[in-house]
């Protein structure tokens, strides 16, 4: 590799490029006016710039990396990228969040199940999650955040009506906001007002997908219902017990990453239920039956401490970042 060229405009290049790629790596931002060496590798972002140059770069013999790791599926309107990579075998690589890569002849696929853990360790540190000292009053049973309308979230919100009075919750697309909600610009999804945590016994984490058959694009991963993003890690970083409203098996998948869940507080077999509407009904029943006094158990407090310490273990996230992102990119580029 002569150099790695990142296809971002100067003002939107992400900080993590300089944080995590080796300092000695020959790398720079793209200059459309420059002529590049034949052995230059071009690194694109699904939400970045210069997509109109991808096919030309492949046709010129360059290798191309297409970063989709902020998503679980590649948007259908980017099907042409996969088709182009198939047309130029060995020259294209995808990075994507998810459990494990599919095998696609001629195309390199690198899955990272840890991307949101890596990314949000930085984000939640920015919002001082590590410094939060719990002072629970537990006036209400649960805390829940919803933002954009989706059909499966609408189903959850309707089914949750009998228990919402004992919650602090939002559904921004329906005009429902939390008290003293974040009003600034930027990273509101990661913001936390810890009064919300202190006032509630647990979080209902509503993941990106609830229904198991509602893909928003084409998949490049196996077991593609397993997906954890900032929503799952938020309660962990905030030192809060959680119920997980997600696709089937994601609670067990979270345990597989080494985090503790809370069978001392409720029946976690809801995670095995194949019908997402029934899973939601099970969550409603759990909330109705929840005993506030059960929260005050030594094992629960120990699990909360374990989860937060593990989440903020920077040696661990550096290892994950190196093994599932940086090293695979460098192997492909060499």
Digit-coded pLDDT (tens) for 70-95: 998 999 999 999 999 999 999 999 99
Looking at the structure, do residues 68 and 163 belong to the same domain, yes or no?
no
List the single range of 34-38, 106-110, 161-165, 269-273 with lowest mean pLDDT: 34-38
Which pTM value belongs to this model?
0.93
Tell me, yes or no, whether 61 and 180 share the same domain: no
- Whole-number Å distance between alpha carbons of 333 and 4: 8
User: According to the model, what pLDDT value does residue 12 have?
Assistant: 75
Chain position carrying tokens 């209902």: 204
Do 151 and 17 have their domain in common? no
Inside any domain, residue 331: no
Alpha carbons 23 and 42: distance in angstroms, whole number? 18
**322 lies in some domain:** no
Give the per-residue pLDDT at 187.
Answer: 65
- pLDDT of 11 over the 80 cut: no
**HSE, side-chain direction, 13 A CA sphere, residue 125:** 11
E strands, the chain, are 4-6, 27-29, 41-45, 63-68, 74-75, 92-97, 100-101, 107-112, 140-146, 167-171, 200-206, 217-218, 221-222, 242-245
334 within domain boundaries: no
Q: Which domain holds residue 206?
A: 118-315
Which pLDDT band, with edges at 50, 70 and 90, does 186 fall under?
low
Q: How far apart are CA 243 and CA 161, in angstroms?
A: 17
Q: Given 65, 80, 112, which residue is the final one in a domain?
A: 112
The pLDDT score that the predictor gives to residue 17 is 85
């Amino acid at each position: 590799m002569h150099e790695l060229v990142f296809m971002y405009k100067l003002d939107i290049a992400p900080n993590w490029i300089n944080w995590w790629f080796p300092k000695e790596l020959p790398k720079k931002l793209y200059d459309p006016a420059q002529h590049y060496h034949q052995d230059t590798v071009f690194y694109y972002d699904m939400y970045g710039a210069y997509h109109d140059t991808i096919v030309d770069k492949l046709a010129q013999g360059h290798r191309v990396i297409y970063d989709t790791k902020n998503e679980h599926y590649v948007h259908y309107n980017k099907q042409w990228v996969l088709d182009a990579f198939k047309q130029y075998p060995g020259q294209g690589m995808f990075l994507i969040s998810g459990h494990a890569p599919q095998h696609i002849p001629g195309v390199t696929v690198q899955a990272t199940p840890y991307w949101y853990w890596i990314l949000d360790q930085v984000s939640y540190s920015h919002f001082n999650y590590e410094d939060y000292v719990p002072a629970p009053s537990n006036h209400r049973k649960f805390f829940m955040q919803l933002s954009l309308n989706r059909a499966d979230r609408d189903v959850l919100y309707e089914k949750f009506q009998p228990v919402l009075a004992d919650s602090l919750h939002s559904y921004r697309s329906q005009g429902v906001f939390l008290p003293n909600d974040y009003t600034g610009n930027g990273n509101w999804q990661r913001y936390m007002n810890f009064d919300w945590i202190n006032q509630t016994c647990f979080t209902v984490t509503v993941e990106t997908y609830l229904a198991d058959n509602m893909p928003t694009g084409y998949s490049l991963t196996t077991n593609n219902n397993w997906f954890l993003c900032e929503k799952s890690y938020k309660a962990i970083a905030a030192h809060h017990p959680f119920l997980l409203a997600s696709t089937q098996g994601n609670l067990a998948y979270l345990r597989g990453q080494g985090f503790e869940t809370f069978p001392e507080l409720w029946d976690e077999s809801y995670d095995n239920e194949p019908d997402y509407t029934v899973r939601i009904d099970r969550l409603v029943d759990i909330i109705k039956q929840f005993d506030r006094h059960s929260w005050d158990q030594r094992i629960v407090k120990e699990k909360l401490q374990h989860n937060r310490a593990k989440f903020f273990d920077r040696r661990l996230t550096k290892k994950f970042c190196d093994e599932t992102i940086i090293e695979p990119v460098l192997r492909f580029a060499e």
